[in-house]
Chains A and B, each alone.
Chain A
Amino acid sequence: MRDWTCPFCPLLCDDITTIVHGDGALDAPDVDCPRLTHALTWFSGPSASQPAIDDQDTDLESAVQRAVEILKGASRPLFGGLATDVAGARALYPLAAGCGAILDHLHGDAMAASTAALQDRGAFFTTLSEVRARADLLVVFACQPSVSYPRFYERVLGATEHARDLIFVGCEVDPAADIVENTSTHSILKDADPYDILAIWSALTEGTDGRTAASICGDTGIAHALVDLAERVNAARYALVVYEPAALPGPHAALLIEAVNRIVKTVNRTTRAGALALGGDDGALSVNQAVTWLSGFPLRTRVSMPTRLAQEPPLDHDPMRYRTQRLLAALEVNALLWIASFRPEPLPPNLADNVPVIVLGHPAMRAMLGARTAPTVFIPVATPGVDSGGHLFRVDGSVVAPLSAARASALPTVAAIAARLSGLLDSRSLP
């Protein structure tokens, strides 16, 4: 299959040729991407896998019925993981409304940091094609893009004529950047504190008003390096600052994200620049977008059920309170619907053994569940872009890629199962 779109990272590379073997195994021999190669090992055999109830094989109908019983019996369910596509999110939303669920994603912490910075101060962003066509200076802040996004440099900068400078700030040079031609790379301040770097860089960008850099931050190495950086950004035609929310030191990464965007906003008063966040893996960006447009609120929102108490709001967004790890540790939820359609994803740590669980997951998850005290339902689902079509948001948030099934599969989609569950949940109060 030519021009296949890879669903396994938010770069959504759409130039891949895949080979489907007789047993359903997938191969992409022409692409040098360790992340894809690893992902394809999860699809090395037939997709068949039985649904299970409490570790015993069962049929889909029985599994769905048992799942509905779990949801009906739970006053405060959590829909976690949420590794699915736009169609999955669209179908899970009415189900959440039907049973009063809280919605959070596998990468909820990184998403919440980006969301908080955006909600408080806004952003100045750019997208991959703008970088490709325009950026002559790339500042990579405190991350190594190729670790999580192996084809980042090839896809964004490859096969272009532009001369570009790549400056790695607060980190080592990413060795993978070498593949880009006409590019110089160097690293500054690789061991400096990222908060200090951004504070001083921000002050310098605001303008020193005749004062020396030393009067702002002392006559230190960090000051000299950042004066030079600020000058280079100012001299650039179009500068990019790229960062990775999940790679920033927590738990207050929002402050760093705010600072990066503040610097970029300031730079734009005189020249042009944009920021690019690398993240939103495993459907995080897609589900966050879809839940935001449907409800008005991003993830970490509780959708109340129809029978809610009068004083309860229909929607409650609280990024601190509705964090998966906290909810599970504090025993604040009494059922977990765990969605992991891209790869087998272990159940979250802190999950008490007596909390009922429904897994809509990659077939290989069956083996990971084992025996639990509480009722546990497993329903294998299709992987978008492998077993079914679908839509995912690309890393920069502006482009939605259409996915096509790479192989024939009988597995149901997350959307199909969620719709079945909604239908059965709805029928509970009918005569």
Chain B
Amino acid sequence: MSLTRLRGGTLYDPANGANAERRDLYMRDGRLVAAEPGASIDHDFDAAGMIVMAGGIDLHSHIGGGKTNLSRLLLPEDHRGSGAEGGGEQPINGRYLRLPSCGVCTPGTLATGYRYAEMGYTAAFEPAMMPSNARHTHLEMGDTPIIDHGAYVMLGNDELFLQLLAERDSFERLRDYVGWTMHASKALGVKVVNPGGISAFKFNQRSLNVDEQHVHYGITPRDVLRTLSRALSELGVPHPLHVHASNLGVPGNIDSTIATMDAADGLPIHLTHIQFHSYGVEGPRKFSSGARTIADAVNARPNVSIDVGQIIFGQTVTASGDTMMQFRNAPLGSPKKWIVGDIECDAGCGIVPFRYREQSYVNALQWIIGLEIFLLIDDPWRVSMTTDHPNGGPFTSYPHLIRLLMDKGFRDEQLAKLNPEAQVASALPELTREFSLYDIAIITRAGPARLLGLKDRGHLGVGAAADIAVYRDEADKERMFTSPAYVFKDGQLVARDGTLVATPTGGIHYVSPAFDRGIEKTLRAYGAANLVGNPVHAAISDDEICTCCRGGRLLPVACRLPS
């Protein structure tokens, strides 16, 4: 197979400690390889003066599945007139390289894959796949071209889990059930959304704090968090329990957010879109930044990782499994239309469009809180850059967000445009930290890869997949990160100067933890009594996942062996 050289670039590769290291890279058969003296170079790319990083990895982006497609259905206005930009649909030899696909905050799957790749991202992970909706989710991710993908399966609101927990069934059986669910749904991780709360809402409970009892099962969110984090730890699943904490959006939720961290009893736990869970009750409006409290808590707890869920001003849509909170927040939405649904004794979904406004005190403070969290957490390896696409804003805002983190002057300019009261309530002016390219490489690729257990992604070492983004070094970081000079996916050039040149099919990352198959008897009995579907069809086989993913490569991620 042919040998490709990327010549003279400056490497930012934190996983291998390379900070602005000028070095050639070699690719063969989709992998990075060592220099081969004397070997003939088949393809040579000049990266002199350019910045080279591994392909970007988005560990929390709602790219596929029921609630994403309902968001598309809900917002035709997001799609009208949004598909022609960039001229990417221009045909080559009378055929489309990229098929028509449109939308800004809820783009079609095709547009999603194209735009991620054009920005230098090579993987994105759907964080909220319901077991009952797993096939749908994989079908959509399979139709998201170029980038690799994977999903976290939702547990902790499904009636069976809560029943077993309430009956104080053995931990081993709960652990086997978690293992079986990951296996059956081809998941990479497990997510819990408002632990127990989605189920409680089905029993007409309207709020649920970390140590409050579920009105029907009597269990608490803390019980759910403790059991799930222990189960993942014993199953050896690399990604920690991915937690959308209780009380999303509620002023004063910092206490329950910190209680959520501690519910893991020191085991690894990932708190997602933590910005939405970092609100205090100070000040005349009883809504204040809890960023410093939250950042201090994260800094003091090495078992905790987070992603931010930064909001970006403008129109977007929030799509969440958290029916309890989405129903409560629906009156705040814009435009005034929303969807909530209860789903299959598994979980639910709530879709509420939002327009984040610079002149709104609350929205401005949300924006400030997100940035404060980025700037106040010491260890970038435990922070991943997300907007919780599309909930805080579309993923296409990442270059803008990178500039906000890297450029204090730009940040101050933006802050000055916001609601004046929010500016006064902000610690942002005093935070002088500016992210370096090395920091950016950590929070956008090396860190997420490590948190997900992807050993051959997110870095540029020999043996890694040749997923590479090459940027022109520009003072305007937003421009720089919008249109990389070259993007390689598994060694193939897929985009050049922000324009696609190839659209290969991405692969799927998933784990196959070991578990006792005896649990299937429990599942069959439960299914027969409570579910409409036949449990024999629940699990997705390897062959079927290949079909769902359009023949994309299966990329199994190893579980740690029990020690």
The reply to whether A400 and B135 form a contact with Cβ atoms under 8 Å apart is: yes
Let me know if A5 is at the binding interface, CB within 8 A. Answer: yes
Closest to A297 in B: B79
With A and B bound together, what is the CA distance between A315 and B81 in angstroms? Answer: 9
Closest to A270 in B: B204
With A and B bound together, what is the CA distance between A278 and B84 in angstroms? Answer: 36
Interface-forming stretch among A19-27, A45-53, A114-122, A339-347?
A: A114-122
The reply to whether A399 and B533 form a contact with Cβ atoms under 8 Å apart is: yes
Let me know if A42 is at the binding interface, CB within 8 A. Answer: no
Let me know if B532 is at the binding interface, CB within 8 A. Answer: yes
B residues less than 8 Å from A160 (CB atoms):
529
| Contact flag A123-B339 (CB < 8 Å), given A238-B202, A292-B73 | yes
Closest to A123 in B: B339
A residues less than 8 Å from B93 (CB atoms):
429-430
The reply to whether B345 and A295 form a contact with Cβ atoms under 8 Å apart is: no
Q: Interface residue count for B (Cβ, 8 Å)?
A: 72
Let me know if B72 is at the binding interface, CB within 8 A. Answer: yes
The reply to whether A401 and B99 form a contact with Cβ atoms under 8 Å apart is: no
The reply to whether A155 and B532 form a contact with Cβ atoms under 8 Å apart is: yes
Let me know if A94 is at the binding interface, CB within 8 A. Answer: yes
Question: Which residues 84-98 of B have a CB within 8 angstroms of A?
Answer: 84, 89-91, 93-96
B342 contact from A274, A290, A397, Cβ within 8 A: A274
Closest to A15 in B: B534
Interface-forming stretch among A31-39, A63-71, A180-188, A303-311?
A: A303-311
Let me know if A93 is at the binding interface, CB within 8 A. Answer: yes
Q: Interface residue count for A (Cβ, 8 Å)?
A: 69
The reply to whether A297 and B102 form a contact with Cβ atoms under 8 Å apart is: yes
The reply to whether A119 and B89 form a contact with Cβ atoms under 8 Å apart is: no
The reply to whether A268 and B340 form a contact with Cβ atoms under 8 Å apart is: yes
B83 contact from A15, A272, A313, A397, Cβ within 8 A: A313
B109 contact from A119, A129, A293, A391, Cβ within 8 A: A293
| Contact flag A296-B339 (CB < 8 Å), given A122-B74, A401-B537 | no
The reply to whether B83 and A133 form a contact with Cβ atoms under 8 Å apart is: no
Let me know if A353 is at the binding interface, CB within 8 A. Answer: no
Let me know if B388 is at the binding interface, CB within 8 A. Answer: no
| Contact flag A125-B79 (CB < 8 Å), given A14-B533, A307-B94, A400-B135 | no
The reply to whether B99 and A132 form a contact with Cβ atoms under 8 Å apart is: no
A296 contact from B72, B96, B135, B342, Cβ within 8 A: B72
Question: Which has the most chain A C-beta neighbours within 10 Å: B68, B100, B139, B338?
Answer: B100
Question: Which residues 118-140 of A have a CB within 8 angstroms of B?
Answer: 118-130, 132-134
Question: Which residues 267-323 of A have a CB within 8 angstroms of B?
Answer: 268, 271-272, 274, 289-290, 292-298, 303-304, 306-307, 313-315, 317
Question: Which residues 222-278 of A have a CB within 8 angstroms of B?
Answer: 237-238, 265, 268, 271-272, 274
Provide the A378-418 mask, 1 if CB < 8 A to any CB of B, else 0.
00000000000101011001111110000000000000000
A residues less than 8 Å from B547 (CB atoms):
87, 389
A residues less than 8 Å from B110 (CB atoms):
294-295
Provide the B437-475 mask, 1 if CB < 8 A to any CB of A, else 0.
000000000000000000000000000000000000000
The reply to whether A306 and B69 form a contact with Cβ atoms under 8 Å apart is: no
A residues less than 8 Å from B531 (CB atoms):
129, 132-133
Provide the B483-521 mask, 1 if CB < 8 A to any CB of A, else 0.
000000000000000000000000000000000000000
The reply to whether A296 and B533 form a contact with Cβ atoms under 8 Å apart is: no
Question: Which residues 112-149 of B have a CB within 8 angstroms of A?
Answer: 130, 132-133, 135-136, 139-140, 143
| Contact flag A426-B95 (CB < 8 Å), given A3-B534, A272-B202, A313-B84 | yes
The reply to whether B69 and A398 form a contact with Cβ atoms under 8 Å apart is: no
A130 contact from B72, B202, B338, B339, Cβ within 8 A: B202
Given A134-B342, A160-B529, A400-B135; 11 other pairs, CB 8 A cutoff:
A119-B337, A122-B74, A126-B342, A130-B343, A295-B100, A296-B111, A297-B79, A315-B102, A317-B80, A398-B130, A402-B544
A-B contact pairs, 13 of them (CB 8 A): A5-B537, A124-B341, A125-B339, A125-B340, A126-B341, A130-B202, A130-B343, A134-B202, A274-B342, A295-B102, A298-B73, A298-B76, A398-B344
